[in-house]
Structure 1
């Protein structure tokens, strides 16, 4: 293996395995293939290279094959999605009453532990995103009760006891709002934050099982004849990747002469979990991975992404930065610079779309280009070797809970 700290004359890249770990998303992974196809074609046209998708050539999880010629060199990459959408769908399978009980539990977990106030010291954007479903679901309930009260007053004119009949409208109003959640995202976000808060930051047992499956798949890829194994964790997929890679290295499953192992975290929301009292496993994994020479770890966020903890070093702000810390290298995708003024104006208030911009084309690309990273002739550690971290990164430890798993 080419160690990140000694990789000055790395061999030419020809083949790559990419494992993409999505965030809390109930949608089938074909969505990511179509996004890659569409945005990859757009970026290739802008940047002047060739990029072609074809059906997957490997057994295992859903994926696709990419052939790309960039800077006169052709690279073959196999992309696979490490799928946990079934667990997400199961966690979202709640009725209206259960969701409101979930709201109370989740709010108490973040507020009662003090995590919410400490998170606000980092970035207000993702905290506002966390509070949005709480507020909006309560607004929905208030509107339903106000409508019930109005109807009840009208019915009371005919008979005083009929006023209570107005309450019958409440489930219908709340049901209507739930059916419209594809526009509001209140239920979706509530389930998202509740998933981590349910065990106060500890992983649910089914998720631990899936982490083990993903570790096995990546370990197998490291025994194949490819030049790079690239693991990408997006949004809450970033903290899953931290635990997967930590388990992989602890198990001694990174061959000394195998492919280069690289890790790219995008739009991470690690503090939403690592700041909770029982996130001991995640905190231990963050501290462990931060010193390892077996991999290279680049963290990319952007202040324009209101759903991510932009430029927050996830290890440092969690308060578990060890002696000898080397990872991650924290840089910005700089949306205001890598998107043209017209494109930025179009996307600026589309918060969920911006959270996926890391996987999309930039019309004024800088050194961060998702399709050069996943399909180009340089491995991640080669492309960003010697890259200076962002000067505006946040490293101050503000987390109260710093205990780690034994």
Structure 2
């Protein structure tokens, strides 16, 4: 029996592609440690992490005992946080220029109106930083106006025009100080962070910047090397913006013949994807071509998991079909819901319901009423992704109708 025919995993390589995140990848290790321990206690299995030797990629080793089987998994985080940080290194005025450009790209091309026909949640999430930054600017200007008026009223009778000039300087200083205060508290507001996120793709109208393309090629090399080793599955996980990066990385691997016949099964798990935010842009030719190509491949298994409770993702929107990239022989992805309202207890759901950013990461966390989606069984359990969901029907409420205005693909 060849390795591609095996139905049980003892050794697995996992490659995790984060979304647009400037934070060091150790946060994902600690999240995995904490949440896997919680899920193991709920679901009745054993799982433990330990450090990996330093290598090209940051990661960790997992030992698990699940369903009567011992499984080892090596998890690598494919890092592009340095690229994200560089893209976020802008001044306050530059961020407001980004706001204008990003709004123009999405509104001027008609992409925003098409996206609203899918899910309102991620569109509201996209509009939120625009609204929040404009509110911050309005408040800063209001404070500046008040300072000017008060200074003029108090000192005007004495200093005349000099009082107005002095008030204008004080008002400008107050305006700048308040804007800087808002930016320093962005860990609570997320306005600058989200603005930079959407601006990153909008700046090139959906095309990948050269630096990102180079990094994606490195990701592909790492996955190709794993496919040449003696493991039972190579699993690529793309979360949020990392989902569309995963699509292109895997499409490149397949096109260039770097997925060996008879090698370990290749699987792709996309979580909380926001693919339409990029694929609906006019110059996303490359992404639409990759969606078209990957969705018809029989060389991998692709499962897409979202949840309507995640307001930041395009929940149950088939990323291939809604992008207008579906071929006649489309096979993938299998689209289904993590069903937060069912897999989280009422008390837990009440606790998390309005924590939108936290819910966007719930796919990587423990469920206190787990269903057939369990991130830790998928990444450290004995069943390969293909077998685990071989009989899983897609969610009936998924959206598959083509909505995208731009359907051209790269040659």
**Which category of TM-score, normalised to the shorter sequence, fits these structures?**
over 0.9
**Distance in 2 between the 1:109 and 1:343 partners?**
38
The separation in 1 between residues aligned to 2:56 and 2:366, in whole angstroms, is 28
Q: Do 1:26 and 1:88's aligned partners in 2 also have CA atoms closer than 8 Å? A: yes
- Tell me how far 1:59 sits from its aligned partner: 3.1
C-alpha separation in 1, matches of 2:3 and 2:91: 51
- Residues 1:13 and 2:9 are matched in the alignment: yes
- Structure 2 equivalent of residue 265 of structure 1: 270
Q: Which residue of 1 aligns with 2:226?
A: 221
Question: What is the CA–CA distance in structure 1 between the aligned matches of 2:61 and 2:202, rounded to whole Å?
Answer: 37
Residue 315 (str. 1) matches residue 320 (str. 2): yes
| Cross-structure match for 1:64 | 60
Q: Tell me the residue number matched to 1:152.
A: 148
1-side partners of 2:31 and 2:361: how far apart? 10
Q: Which residue of 2 aligns with 1:86?
A: 82
**Structure 2 residue runs without a partner (length 5+):** none
Unaligned runs of 5+ in 1: none
Match for residue 133 of structure 1 among 126, 129, 138: 129
1:238 aligns with 243
CA shift for structure 1 position 320? 1.0
Is this contact kept in 2: 1:274–1:282, CA < 8 A? yes
Matched, 1:404 2:400: no
- Separation in structure 2 between the aligned mates of residue 12 and residue 366 of structure 1, nearest angstrom: 21
Query: Could you tell me how far 1:24 is from its partner in structure 2?
Result: 0.2
Determine the structure 2 residue equivalent to 1:164.
168
1:167, distance to aligned residue in structure 2 (A): 2.3
Structure 1 CA distance for aligned equivalents of residues 66 and 185 of structure 2: 44
From the superposition, tell whether residues 258 and 58 of structure 1 become closer, same or farther in structure 2 (CA, over 3 Å): farther
Tell me the TM-score normalized by structure 2: 0.96
Whole-angstrom distance in 1 between the partners of 2:7 and 2:317 = 33
Structure 2 residue 39 is the aligned partner of structure 1 residue 40: no
Residue 374 of structure 1: SS of its match in structure 2? helix
Quick check: 1:194 aligned with 2:213? no
The 5 Å alignment of 1:88-107 reads 88-107=84-103
* Equivalent pair of 2:3/2:232 in contact (CA under 8 Å): no
Runs of 4+ deviating beyond 4 Å: none
1:243-293: CA deviation from partner (whole Å, max 9, x where unpaired): 000000001011111100000000000000000000000000000000001
Q: For the Cα contact (< 8 Å) 1:238–1:266, is it kept in 2? A: yes
Tell me, what secondary structure is at the counterpart of 1:314? Answer: coil
State whether structure 2 residue 138 is matched by structure 1 residue 142.
yes
Deviation at 1:386, TM superposition (A): 2.3
Contact between 1:57 and 1:65, CA under 8 Å: does it hold in 2?
no
Find the residue that maps to 1:253 and give its secondary structure: coil
Q: How many residues align?
A: 401
1:87 CA drift (Å): 0.2
C-alpha displacement of 1:379 = 0.7
2:183 to 170, 178, 199: 178
The change in CA–CA distance for 1:46 and 1:96 in structure 2 (over 3 A counts) is same
Distance 1:352 1:192 in 2: 14
SS in 2 for 1:402: coil
Q: CA deviation at 1:405?
A: 0.6
Matched, 1:335 2:331: no
**What is residue 391 of structure 2 aligned with on the other side?**
386
For residues 2 and 190 of structure 1, the distance between their equivalents in structure 2, rounded to whole angstroms, comes to 45
Contact kept in structure 2, 1:338 and 1:363, CA below 8 Å:
yes
**CA pair 403-175 structure 1, distance change in 2 beyond 3 A:** same
Moved more, 11-20 or 117-126: 11-20
Q: Deviations over 1:370-390 (max 9, x none)?
A: 000000000111100121100
Which SS does the other structure have where 1:191 is aligned? Answer: helix
Is the contact between residue 144 and residue 174 of structure 1 (CA under 8 Å) also seen in structure 2?
Answer: yes
Secondary structure of 1:372 counterpart: helix
Q: Which has the larger radius of gyration?
A: 2
Out of 358, 366, 374, which is 1:369 matched to?
374
1:302 paired residue among 300, 307, 311? 307
Q: CA deviation at 1:154?
A: 1.1
SS at match of 1:150: helix
DSSP 3-state at the match of 2:313 = coil
